[in-house]
Amino acid sequence: MFAFIIRRLLQIIPVIIGVTIATFFLTWLIPGDPTNVLLGPGASEESRERLRDSLGLDQSLVTQYLIYMSNLLTGDLGQSISFSSPVSEVLFRLMGNTALLAGAAIFVASVAGIAAGTWAALRPGSFRDRGLTIVVLFLNSMPSFWLGLVLILIFGLHLRVLPVSGMPDPQSGLLTLLAHMALPTITLAAWSLAAIARMTRSAVLEVINNDYVRTARSRGVSEARIVLFHALPNAIPAVLTVIGIQMGFLFSGAVLTETVFSWPGVGLAMFQAISSRDIPLIQGGILMLALIFVLINLIVDVLYVYFNPKIRLN
């Protein structure tokens, strides 16, 4: 197990280097003089020259990349134009809000998804099973921001039961916070819920007809016990993988959800960065979210092995 973790850690090093190369190239994609964009339109020729120097823009790509990397390693992600403060500072300040939303969404998606998937798998081909297939199809074909707007329309504007935008300040209490989180959480969770429900359904279907389940049934074990203690634990590794992948996507899906609900996280900041052409912030945000994605995948891989004794003991 330990050796596996070490090996897996070593494996992600080239991926992380690759990720930094890819984000580095984003600056290179900017047409014309990148300092125009990186410093904003009002910058003086002098500060431009200074930036050109510090980024090594007149030197080879390799040198530029090495400069970018050494800056990264010291935590320097550049200067955000729209926030007029260091990108790393902005991202770290907002990351907590995004993580809060993503965490709530993955919780909702996992609980509801596993429940719905198991529920459908117990009666394959039944009305409720086909119903789930249709719901999954629609959730998969629905832009999350549209779902968000529809939820705002229904719960915020017509029924007036839930707040539709922003995040309350910490003094207003947990209940207010939860109320503000309700709609963005559902919106963000919808897509993942569909994926988790589908995976749970097929994973449970795969184990439900196994000998040990049949044995338990013949011993008169209740159906609920069979599902909870015999079928689900064996379906967990497969479901866990999907949950992990979805969690990575949730952090990036936050760009759309946070925009719709004006939730002050990394996603909303990146949306605002688009219109102000704040490329350093976008670049930093992408790098940070991609690294989180890689890290989550690593954790999922480790957990997968941990829950799978067949692999663990080899």
CB 265 within 8 A of CB 94: yes
Of the candidate residues 60, 218, 275, 314, the single one contacting other proteins (CB under 8 A) = 275
Instruction: Convert 157-170 into a string of H (helix), E (strand) and C (coil).
Output: HHCCCCCCCCCCCH
* Neighbouring residues of 259: CB distance < 8 A, sequence distance ≥ 6: 145, 267, 268, 271
Cβ proximity to other proteins, 142 vs 177, nearer residue = 142
Task: Determine the length of the chain.
Answer: 314
Cβ proximity to other proteins, 141 vs 314, nearer residue = 141
Least distance between other proteins and beta carbon 215 (Å): 24
Of the candidate residues 67, 149, 179, 182, the single one contacting other proteins (CB under 8 A) = 149
Nearest to 61 by CA among 37, 22, 25, 36: 25
3-state secondary structure of 122: coil
Which two tokens mark 62?
């390799």
Of the candidate residues 41, 42, 125, 220, the single one contacting other proteins (CB under 8 A) = 125
Cβ proximity to other proteins, 108 vs 256, nearer residue = 256
Using CB under 8 A, which of the segments 42-50, 79-87, 103-111, 276-284 binds other proteins? 276-284
Of the candidate residues 132, 193, 273, 305, the single one contacting other proteins (CB under 8 A) = 273
3-state secondary structure of 85: strand
Cα 87-287-80 angle, rounded to 5 deg: 20
Using CB under 8 A, which of the segments 86-94, 170-178, 215-223, 272-280 binds other proteins? 272-280
* Neighbouring residues of 306: CB distance < 8 A, sequence distance ≥ 6: 1, 312
Of the candidate residues 91, 283, 300, 305, the single one contacting other proteins (CB under 8 A) = 283
Phi then psi for residue 225, to 5 deg, are: -65, -40
The C-alpha atoms of residue 240 and residue 232 are separated, in whole angstroms, by 11
Cβ proximity to other proteins, 33 vs 222, nearer residue = 33
Over the window 78 to 117, marking each residue x when it contacts other proteins by CB under 8 A and - when it does not, the resulting string is ----------------------------------------
Using CB under 8 A, which of the segments 45-53, 96-104, 134-142, 303-311 binds other proteins? 134-142
* Neighbouring residues of 87: CB distance < 8 A, sequence distance ≥ 6: 77, 78, 79, 80, 280, 281, 283, 284, 285
Over the window 13 to 52, marking each residue x when it contacts other proteins by CB under 8 A and - when it does not, the resulting string is -xxx-xx-xxx--xx-xxx---------------------
Using CB under 8 A, which of the segments 51-59, 93-101, 148-156, 182-190 binds other proteins? 148-156
Cα 185 from chain centre: 12
CB 94 within 8 A of CB 178: no
How many Å from the N-terminal Cα to the C-terminal Cα in the chain?
A: 9
Of the candidate residues 9, 61, 111, 153, the single one contacting other proteins (CB under 8 A) = 153
- Binding stretches for other proteins (CB under 8 A): 14-16, 18-19, 21-23, 26-27, 29-31, 124-125, 133, 137-138, 140-146, 149-150, 152-153, 157, 198-199, 202, 205, 248-249, 251-253, 255-256, 259-260, 270-271, 273-275, 277, 279, 282-283, 286, 289-290, 293-294
